Amino acid sequence: MTAVCVGLLLAAGQGIRFGGNKLLHPLDDGTPMVLASARPLRAVLTGTLAVVGDADGEVARLLAQEDIQVVGNPQAREGVGTSIACGVAASRHADGWVIALGDMPWIPQAVVQAVAGRLAHGADIVAPVYQGQRGHPVGFSARHADALMCLHADEGARGIIDAHLDSLELIEVYERGVLVDVDFR
């Protein structure tokens, strides 16, 4: 039986380095960044949800219009770890999660498909790698649910990955977008 994985978009950031709500910033084609980041997840994983800081805000409204489940994180200001924990808790039934960032709109759908496919067929942790650098999105099997739900503050999932390097599957990709967020384009 194939695993059912959930796409988890982290879209609760404050945009401090960007100088405003970067998730609403239009890309060259006019698409708000958060939608460009969400669409590859939604196209591959029907069970996609986004964690936002303000469940009644513009980011949440745009995502809901795309048929993406929105989950508000009341602790979003404390950091990305709280958003990962919130999203995993909201989809605890999943067999795994493909976690992407709302400020990385250049991740190709094919990369999301590759990560999700490996998870669905039994991989433990999966990440793309571009020219030797590990990128996003990162996939986690349900085995890591408790650890993901215990994340806090600005602690991402890097510690979980580092503790399980023996079960990390890397997918070599040729798309630089797996490394690039809007702050460091």
- Check residue 46 and give its pLDDT: 83
Q: Delimit the domains of the chain by residue range.
A: 5-184
CA 48 to chain centre: 10
Residues 145, 149: Cα–Cα separation, whole Å: 6
Q: Looking at domain 5-184, which of 3.90.550.10, 3.20.190.10, 3.30.70.100, 3.40.50.620 is its CATH number?
A: 3.90.550.10
32 preceded by cis ω (within 30°)?
A: no
pLDDT tens track for 17-31: 556 688 999 999 999
- Residue 106: half-sphere exposure toward Cβ, Cα within 13 Å: 15
Global pTM reads 0.95
| Higher per-residue pLDDT: 14 or 132 | 132
